[in-house]
Amino acid sequence: MPDPRFFPSGPALPLSEVARRLGVAPVRDPAALICGVAALGSAGPQEITYLEQARHLPDLASCAAGACLVSPALRARAAAQVGPQGPQLLVVADPKAAFMALTAVLHPEPRIPAGRDASALVAASARIDPTASIGPGAVLGAEVTVGARSVIGAHAVLGPGVQIGADCHVHPHATVSHAVLGDRVTLHSHATIGRAGFGFHPGAAGLTRVAQLGRVILHDDVEIGAQSCVDRGTLGDTVIGRGTKIDNLVQIGHNCQIGAQCVIVAQCGLAGSVVLEDGVLLGGQVGVADHRTIGRGARIAAKSGVTRDVPAQETQSGIPARPITLFFRAVARDLRLGRAGKP
Amino acid sequence: MPDPRFFPSGPALPLSEVARRLGVAPVRDPAALICGVAALGSAGPQEITYLEQARHLPDLASCAAGACLVSPALRARAAAQVGPQGPQLLVVADPKAAFMALTAVLHPEPRIPAGRDASALVAASARIDPTASIGPGAVLGAEVTVGARSVIGAHAVLGPGVQIGADCHVHPHATVSHAVLGDRVTLHSHATIGRAGFGFHPGAAGLTRVAQLGRVILHDDVEIGAQSCVDRGTLGDTVIGRGTKIDNLVQIGHNCQIGAQCVIVAQCGLAGSVVLEDGVLLGGQVGVADHRTIGRGARIAAKSGVTRDVPAQETQSGIPARPITLFFRAVARDLRLGRAGKP
Amino acid sequence: MPDPRFFPSGPALPLSEVARRLGVAPVRDPAALICGVAALGSAGPQEITYLEQARHLPDLASCAAGACLVSPALRARAAAQVGPQGPQLLVVADPKAAFMALTAVLHPEPRIPAGRDASALVAASARIDPTASIGPGAVLGAEVTVGARSVIGAHAVLGPGVQIGADCHVHPHATVSHAVLGDRVTLHSHATIGRAGFGFHPGAAGLTRVAQLGRVILHDDVEIGAQSCVDRGTLGDTVIGRGTKIDNLVQIGHNCQIGAQCVIVAQCGLAGSVVLEDGVLLGGQVGVADHRTIGRGARIAAKSGVTRDVPAQETQSGIPARPITLFFRAVARDLRLGRAGKP
């Protein structure tokens, strides 16, 4: 059961109501009360859990949950595991999605009240929707706009002209400048959006900073992790497409063009002017050299270094990155020769 | 044209005045007004652009800019591309430098007014130049000094005794302690300067922190990126030399001695007591083991791991780093054997 | 001598008193005053230093320190180096530990006064020990608890329900939510503890965030570096064991279980549900794939990528990580063939 200090419980629901919400068949004991969600191994009689994979089937025998969501494919084998006092099974097409839907009901996210904290520093010309929430110490510059129901966390700093859409969540300490955010964008703590990128021109007196006159555009449903940086464009914009999710400690250089529904795992670094087409997946700690394009749906294994364009749908690995079969062959050869004691 | 919400325009200039400022010959239509800068592909009739490389010559044919800066070497080929209504060409020795100079005139950086925000918390013993700017919520400890025209951003925290020179820019949320900064130093958001480094001594009760009694010295014109960390020295100082530029998410361990005019790209990590001589270039995500020296002018390819000293002027790559020719040979062999299907 | 602007000196001690505190034999000139600590190469007559390794013995000849701590093993060779006006030698079993103990006396850490800054924003229901210190602009949510003598730095943000034990130090700008901290825990600047981890479920409308209902548990004596992130668990907790030290810019994914007395160097990344048993050492920039276990006392070389479970006590290196002998053999072969000009 989630710690109630951090996750206040919502209403308890009879199992019949749970079943009704999921649109599934009634259950053995429809009056049984469900108060929360929990993992298969730790759930108690007033909690509901779900069976994610067949390899967890044996755990069902000792599962003390009040109910368990299972897929049609695993229903029969699950039923064979569960004892007479075991969890009641609810069969749904996508147990994880159903579990997530119930989580939202049983453990609703705390509502952050609308309005601005007295300690926030909001420019007179900022336009804040009355349903938005502005946290303690937040600093909003001239002409900033914040849309309906958006939450600006404690000490967040939004520079002049920044636009925040509706239902966004800017966590504490994020800093945003020269940026336009769509709706439902999440910025985690300490994210830095809109910094002047790393561009210098060599001259007689050393390196001189190249002015960065572009913006950052974050489309709807983008998420940017804690400590991640998205630098603004030089003359054009740095763009992150709809629904793309970026983890913690990621660097996105100036002028990058990231497509929709990409996933970028923690500590990746994209140099300037990189293009990711839609649906690209980058594993953790990947690096991509400047001006490279990674095609639609390509997947790059963790820790790879991309130095050439990657064709759509291809999976690559290695430094430099190459088709993953070639990577595995090289590793296999290294290990085989090494084990044979051949230097 | 830069978004005027973020980059207010300066004065419009007749092209004759632009030419005069660059010290170049007069032009076809000296009265044409120039209001801003833009990239070759997007510039309009009231904007000036520049031709960076010969491979962009074909783009000149459709370029709608009012004027374009070109190098003497490309002048003739550029003129052949431009139509009678095309951009007027201004021939300058370094088009990019000229473009940067015009940018500073046409899009001057917004002046941040001097003075301290009422919400800043400044110790009575701090000595702040009257021309400096102290942002909202900034915290300045005892005996801090801030030089002329320096800008301390919102919520920046300067610990006791920190010295900031003239014309520095400390962006919002940077934290600085035990540090002395020269002039024209830039710290981006969330930079952490002067943290006690990662030093522990094993004992009966586990690891004990080793006191870190040194400082961080940042010389003139140093730039430190967002989320980057420079740990202070143990008994001596951690030093970053004049004009060195450090990108985002970089870790500089305690006691490092970084020379002048180095460039350290995002996500590099330098362990303790590393020495970089002047003019070293580290590509992104490079790691350098403790106590290693990288000689003057050496270049380390992205994602390399430096485990031995690197001679001056050498280019290395790989984990462990080696002369780049050896790295490329190993990669070529891996790829050749892999494509031949040899495991 | 440490810069007195940053490290105020404590009392000067006669060398007899220094010797008494270390429980060692009296010295040549017991009345000599010792005012501070310094490195062997820079110490002056009123400072004490220590000899760390035999390779520094030659430096003793020119050492101007008033006194030097040496181990019994090096005593005779040290005495042979030191001239008649050279440093007085104090023989102790662990010179570095003795040096650390003297450092704490001669350069005591500045006491941060108890109490809360007037600009801190503390919820009425928070329970703050009267000996704790709450810095300027710190934000403490409902039901937060802070133990005796703990220091909460400027602008730190502690979300609702967060528990902080005794003698903790939360540096400026750290953000903490959904977390329970033991005693003597240190969080450096900009650390992000308790973020909702990177979990998404694919659906018709793209990726949907999976609610993260777990916590972060940091046991006694844990240290988390600047800019490091520890994501909270999904249904269970993310746990960091007693005495584990984590450097800057490290990512710890949701549900990780880190044992006691581990050391994790800067820029490492642990994906979700990684297990580190006690005493594991990860060099800088290591990555560990999700659900992997690294056995007790294992050591992973910098920049490695762990893709399989690692047995206890084993040392591994490489991407993917393998026993270090195999790694070195592969590197040696690459270099040998490369130098021979064989592609």
User: Which pLDDT tens digit goes with each residue over C320-331?
Assistant: 999 999 999 999
Residues of A whose CB is below 8 A from C257: none
Q: What is the pLDDT of residues C20-66, one digit of tens each?
A: 999 998 788 999 999 999 999 999 999 999 998 999 999 999 999 99
Mean pLDDT of C69-80: 94
C182/C311 same-domain check: yes
Q: Is B56 annotated as catalytic?
A: no
| 3-state per-residue secondary structure call for chain C | CCCCCCCCCCCCEEHHHHHHHHCCCCCCCCCCEECEECCCCCCCCCEEEECCCHHHHHHHHHCCCCEEEECHHHHHHHHHHCCCCCCEEEECCCHHHHHHHHHHHHCCCCCCCCEECCCCEECCCCEECCCCEECCCCEECCCCEECCCCEECCCCEECCCCEECCCCEECCCCEECCEEECCCCEECCCCEEEEECCCEEEECCEEEECCCCCEEEECCCCEECCCCEEEECCCCEEEECCCCEECCCCEECCCCEECCCCEECCCCEECCCCEECCCCEECCCCEECCCCEECCCCEECCCCEECCCECCCCEEECCCCEEHHHHHHHHHHHHHHHHCCCC
Residue with tokens 């762990």: C306
B232 Cβ partners below 8 Å, 6+ apart? B177, B178, B179, B194, B195, B196, B197, B212, B214, B215, B216, B238, B254
Judging contacts by C-beta atoms under 8 Å, the chain A residues touching residue C251 are 247-249, 266-267, 284
Which one of B106, B126, B161 terminates a domain? Answer: B106
Q: What CATH number is associated with residue A258?
A: 2.160.10.10
Average pLDDT value for residue range B210-221: 95
| Token pair 């909202």 in the structure block, residue | B136
Look at residue A332 and give its three-state secondary structure. helix
Q: Tokens 């992130």 sit at which residue?
A: C229
B155 with C136: Cβ contact below 8 A:
no
Let me know whether A187 and A280 are in one domain: yes
Per-residue confidence at C237, pLDDT binned at 50, 70, 90? very high
- Asked whether residue B178 falls in the same domain as residue B322, the answer is yes
Chain-chain contact of B335 with A322 (C-beta, under 8 angstroms): yes
Q: Are A238 and A255 in contact (CB under 8 A)?
A: yes
Do C87 and C186 lie in one domain? The reply is no
Q: Is residue A126 part of a domain?
A: yes
DSSP for A268-301, written as a single string: -EE-TT-EE-TT-EE-TT-EE-TT-EE-TT-EE-
CB proximity list for C72: less than 8 A, separation 6 or greater: C91, C93
With contact defined as 3+ CB pairs under 8 Å, the chains touching C are A, B
Give contacts of C96 with chain B, Cβ < 8 Å: 201, 210
Confidence bin at B109 (pLDDT 50/70/90): confident
Strand partners, A251: A229, A269
Inter-chain residue contact B235 with C188, CB threshold 8 Å: no
- Residue among B231, B287, B327 whose CB faces C285 most closely: B287
Q: Is the pLDDT of residue B26 over 70?
A: yes
**pLDDT tier at B8, thresholds 50, 70, 90:** confident
Instruction: Give SS3 for A187.
Output: strand
Return the DSSP state at A210: P
**C205, part of any domain:** yes
Inter-chain residue contact B335 with A326, CB threshold 8 Å: yes
Same domain, C227 and C96: no
Q: Which domain holds residue B96?
A: 13-106
Task: Write down the ipTM of this complex.
Answer: 0.96
Mark whether A153 and A183 lie in a shared domain: yes
Q: How many domains does chain C have?
A: 2
Residues of A in contact with B319 (CB under 8 A): 319
Q: Work out the pLDDT band at C109, boundaries 50, 70, 90.
A: confident
**Averaged pLDDT for residues B206-217:** 92
| Percentage above 70 pLDDT, chain B | 99
Please state, in angstroms and as integers, the Cα–Cα distance from residue B165 to each residue in B183, B188, B217, B233, following that order: 4, 16, 12, 20
Closest residue to B137, CB basis, from A137, A251, A326? A137
Domain match, A102 and A123 both:
no
Instruction: Tell me the per-residue pLDDT of A200-258, one tens digit each, with 9 for 90 and over.
Output: 998 878 898 898 999 999 999 999 999 999 999 999 999 999 999 999 999 999 999 99
pLDDT of residue A342: 65
CA proximity to B72, closest of B91, B48, B98: B91
- R_g of chain A computed on alpha carbons: 25
Predicted confidence (pLDDT) per residue in C118-175, tens digit: 999 999 999 999 999 999 999 999 999 999 999 999 999 999 999 999 999 999 999 9
Pair (B102, B188) in one structural domain: no
Q: Do the Cβ atoms of B261 and A206 come within 8 Å?
A: yes
- What's the CA gap between B207 and B227, in Å, rounded? 27
Place of tokens 């502005």: A134
* Whether the predicted pLDDT of C11 surpasses 90: no
Q: Which of A106, A130, A160 corresponds to the end of one domain?
A: A106
Whether residues B207 and B101 share a domain: the answer is: no
State the sign of the Cα–Cα–Cα–Cα dihedral C75, C81, C82, C84.
positive
- A166 and A91 in one domain? no
Assess if residue A214 is contained within a domain. Answer: yes
Burial class (CB in 10 A: 0-12, 13-18, 19+), C31: exposed
- pLDDT tens-digit map of A84-107: 888 999 999 999 999 999 999 999
Q: Say whether A330 and B342 touch across the interface (CB within 8 A).
A: no
Tell me how far apart the alpha carbons of residues C335 and C12 are, in angstroms, rounded to a whole number: 56
Q: Which residues contact B102 (CB under 8 A, 6 or more apart)?
A: B18, B21, B22, B34, B37, B48
Residue B336 forms part of a structural domain: no
Three-class HEC string of chain B: CCCCCCCCCCCCEEHHHHHHHHCCCCCCCCCCEECEECCCCCCCCCEEEECCCHHHHHHHHHCCCCEEEECHHHHHHHHHHCCCCCCEEEECCCHHHHHHHHHHHHCCCCCCCCEECCCCEECCCCEECCCCEECCCCEECCCCEECCCCEECCCCEECCCCEECCCCEECCCCEECCEEECCCCEECCCCEEEEECCCEEEECCEEEECCCCCEEEECCCCEECCCCEEEECCCCEEEECCCCEECCCCEECCCCEECCCCEECCCCEECCCCEECCCCEECCCCEECCCCEECCCCEECCCCEECCCECCCCEEECCCCEEHHHHHHHHHHHHHHHHCCCC
Examine the fold and report which residue of C76, C106, C136 is the final residue of a domain before the chain moves on.
C106
**Amino acid identity for residue B141 in this structure:** G
Residue A343 has pLDDT above 60, yes or no: no
Residues B290 and B200 in one domain: yes
B228: left (phi over 0), alpha (psi -120 to 50) or beta: beta
Return d(Cα A219, Cα A265) in angstroms, integer: 19
- The string of pLDDT tens digits covering residues B58-95 is 999 999 999 999 999 999 999 999 988 889 999 999 99
Q: Phi/psi of residue A94, each to 5°?
A: -130, 90
pLDDT at C343: 58
User: Binning pLDDT at 50, 70 and 90, where does residue B343 land?
Assistant: low
Classify residue A331: in a domain, yes or no: no
| A337 domain-assigned | no
Mutate to test the interface with A, among B51, B152, B190 (most CBs of A within 10 A): B190
Report the amino acid identity of residue C206: G
* Nearest residue on chain A to C201, alpha-carbon basis: A97
Average pLDDT over residues C211-233: 97
Residue C148 falls inside a structural domain: no
Question: What CATH number corresponds to the domain at position A38?
Answer: 3.40.1390.10
* β-strand pairing of C200-203 with C206-209: antiparallel
Predicted confidence (pLDDT) at residue B342 exceeds the cutoff of 70? no
Nearest of B44, B47, B38, B89 to residue B62 by alpha carbon: B44
In a domain, A178, yes or no: yes
Chain B residues close to C245, C-beta within 8 Å: 198, 200, 207
How deeply is A209 buried, as exposed, middle or buried, from its count of CB atoms within 10 A (0-12, 13-18, 19+)? middle
- Residue of C206, C214, C327 with shortest CB distance to A261: C206
Report pLDDT for B163.
98
All chains having 3 or more CB pairs closer than 8 angstroms to chain A: B, C
Using CA atoms, how far apart are residues A2 and A8, in angstroms rounded to an integer?
Answer: 8
User: Which of residues B128 and C53 earns the better pLDDT score?
Assistant: B128
Q: Does residue C83 surpass a pLDDT of 90? A: no
Helix axes B15-22, B95-106, angle to 10 degrees: 130
Name which of A181-195, B163-177, C43-57, C261-275 the model is least confident about.
C43-57
| A190: helix, strand or coil | coil
What is the model's pLDDT at position A132? 98
Among candidate residues A294, A162, A143, the one with its CA nearest the CA of residue A232: A162
Q: Residue B319 and residue C303: Cβ atoms within 8 Å?
A: yes
Q: What is the mean pLDDT of residues B188-217?
A: 92
- AA letter at C110: P
Q: Is the per-residue pLDDT at A111 higher than 90?
A: no
Q: What is the token pair recorded at A307?
A: 């130095």
B282 closest CA partner among A69, B267, B292, B290: B267
- Please determine, for residue B327, whether its predicted confidence score (pLDDT) is greater than 70: yes
Which two structure tokens, joined as six digits, stand for C233?
């668990």
pLDDT reported for residue A273: 97
Same domain, A67 and A208: no
pLDDT digits (tens, 9 = 90+) for B243-295: 999 999 999 999 999 999 999 999 999 999 999 999 999 999 999 999 999 99
- Distance from the first to the final alpha carbon of chain A: 55
